[in-house]
Structure 1
Amino acid sequence: MKITLLGTGCPQVSSARRGPANLLDWQGKQYLIDCGSGVTQRLVEAGTAGRAIEALLLTHLHSDHLVDLYQLIVSSWHQGRDRPQRIYGPVGTKRFADGLMALWKPELDARIAHEKRPSTKALELDVTELQPGDVLREGDLTITAVGVRHQPVTNAFGFIFQDAHHRVGFSGDTAYCPELIEASRGADALVHECFIHREIMIRPGIRSEEGTRNVASYHTLSSEVGKVAREAQVKCLILNHFVPVEFDRAALLAEVRADFAGSLVVGEDLMRFDCAARSLTHNGAVIGF
């Protein structure tokens, strides 16, 4: 299994950190976890494209995790995809996807008529709505949907990917979550969100103290995420989906390291972790674990 961090940001606009999205490569098959802003560009930069995606798995229906869904669909069609888009997500995913395609139907009909492409299969959506505990089987690969704690969002998942040799987890958005800890126990890698509360600046007219507390309540704080990894006994903790997008990396590393002695990565867009090789690559550098 290979993990690529496509977008490690949040709703804040950043040229360095695109919206939340991760790619898992299993035996050459590509699985996309979330579909944040800039995901189609990051896929190309990572050496693949939307046309190659085996399935898209949505952790929940917050806009920063799916805002580029239509872009993914249309760009995959332009790239020559010859099969429907498979989408898995929580209850409400089908209504959202159907509404999205209905909204863009006049524009899409005009494109189809004018561009004369050989197939429109890529514009068809095969949507499956999941419940916590549901397991998908893709050959020898199993994908388990883990209900996480992102209240007031009632339908939010983390995902565990496992085959005979490796297991990796993706937290999605969640507060401290015993269910996710148990599901990811002993994993080769846990890709986990990180809310860096000490870096959040209260700005009148933009961000209030009350609003910041509310947002922090359904995310995992930087002071907690190391404890999560330690309790789950994961081999490697990969931090991503940072709030805010700009922060002191050395300070974050020290904070999390105080609770977790295992391999620890402060994620950046386009980092790639190879479970079998126990290696991390980024910007030409290769680091062995």
Structure 2
Amino acid sequence: MQVTLLGTGCPQVSTDRYGPASLLDWQDKHYLIDCGSGVTQRLLGAGSAGKRIEALFLTHLHSDHLVDLYQLIVSSWHQGRDKPQRIYGPRGTKAYAAGLMALWKPELDARIAHEKRPSTTALQLDVTELQDGDVIRDGALSITAIAVRHQPVTAAFGYVFDDGTHRVAFSGDTAYCPELIAAAKGADALVHECFIHREMLALPGVRGPETIQNVAAYHTLSTEVGKVAREAQAKCLILNHFVPVVFDRMKLLDEVRADFAGPVLIGEDLMRFDSTSRSITHRDALIALPQ
């Protein structure tokens, strides 16, 4: 089981950290978690492509987590995908997907008529809305949806991938969440968001103290995420979805290490974790983790 961080950013625009998205490879299948800005480019950078995605799992319907869904659908069609796009997500996913395709229908109809491609199967959507505790099975692999605490968003999930040998948990966006901690118990890797509150300063005309307080309230603070990993007994903590996208890495590492003694990875786009070899690759670096 391999995890590649495709995008580790947030709504802030960054050329280093694209929008939230992760790729989980299991056997010869590719599963996409969220669909933030630049996801199709990052998929190619990770050696994959939209046409190879077995299923997309949306954590919630905030724009930064699904803004490139239409790009994924159309680029997969251009790449020769031969099956519908399978999408899992919270309540509201069906309506969103239908509205998205309706919005683009005139443009898409013109493309189909003019380009004369051999199939339009890739443009069909197979959407399933999940509830807390639902389990999707694919052979030995199970994917469990865990309701997380992202209020006032009332439908938001983390996901746990488990094949009986290895387990990887994705937090999605959440405040401190005991339910996620329980579901992620003993995971080979906990991929968790991180709100670095000491770096979020008030900017006149952009954000004030109330804005910062409200955004922080539905994310996990950098001073909390180490506790989450410790309580989950995670074998490795992989931090992603950073708010803000520019921060002092060493200070963040010190904050997390104060509560968690295991390996901590400050995620970067296209960083890859392999649960079998217990290794990390990023660009030309290869790093071994404790077995």
Q: Normalized against structure 2, the TM-score is what?
A: 0.99
C-alpha displacement at 1:28, in angstroms? Answer: 1.5
Matches of 1:47 and 1:283, distance apart in 2: 13
Letter of the structure 2 residue corresponding to residue 50 of structure 1: G
C-alpha displacement at 1:139, in angstroms? Answer: 0.6
Matches of 1:164 and 1:232, distance apart in 2: 18
| Residue 122 of structure 1: aligned partner | 122
Matches of 1:285 and 1:37, distance apart in 2: 26
- Deviations along 1:122-154, one digit per CA (max 9) or x if unpaired, are 000000000000000011000000000000000
Matches of 1:186 and 1:37, distance apart in 2: 31
Letter of the structure 2 residue corresponding to residue 77 of structure 1: W
Letter of the structure 1 residue corresponding to residue 186 of structure 2: G
- Deviations along 1:8-55, one digit per CA (max 9) or x if unpaired, are 000000000000000000001000000000000000011110000000
Aligned length: 289
Matches of 1:98 and 1:205, distance apart in 2: 36
4+ aligned runs moved over 3 Å, structure 1: none
Question: Does structure 1 residue 74 correspond to structure 2 residue 77?
Answer: no
Question: Does structure 1 residue 249 correspond to structure 2 residue 220?
Answer: no
- Deviations along 1:191-230, one digit per CA (max 9) or x if unpaired, are 0000000000210100111011000000000000000000
Matches of 1:201 and 1:68, distance apart in 2: 29
C-alpha displacement at 1:284, in angstroms? Answer: 1.0
- Deviations along 1:149-187, one digit per CA (max 9) or x if unpaired, are 000000000000001210010000000000000000000
Question: 5+ residue gaps in structure 1?
Answer: none
| Residue 234 of structure 2: aligned partner | 234
| Residue 84 of structure 1: aligned partner | 84
Question: 5+ residue gaps in structure 2?
Answer: none
- Deviations along 1:63-98, one digit per CA (max 9) or x if unpaired, are 000000000000000000010000000010000000
Matches of 2:255 and 2:283, distance apart in 1: 25
Matches of 1:180 and 1:76, distance apart in 2: 32
Aligned identity (percent) is 76
Matches of 2:194 and 2:181, distance apart in 1: 15
Aligned to 1:259, the other structure's residue is in SS state: coil
Matches of 1:112 and 1:247, distance apart in 2: 45
- Structure 2 counterparts to residues 252-271 of structure 1, below 5 A: 252-271=252-271
| Residue 208 of structure 2: aligned partner | 208
Aligned to 2:206, the other structure's residue is in SS state: coil
| Residue 58 of structure 1: aligned partner | 58
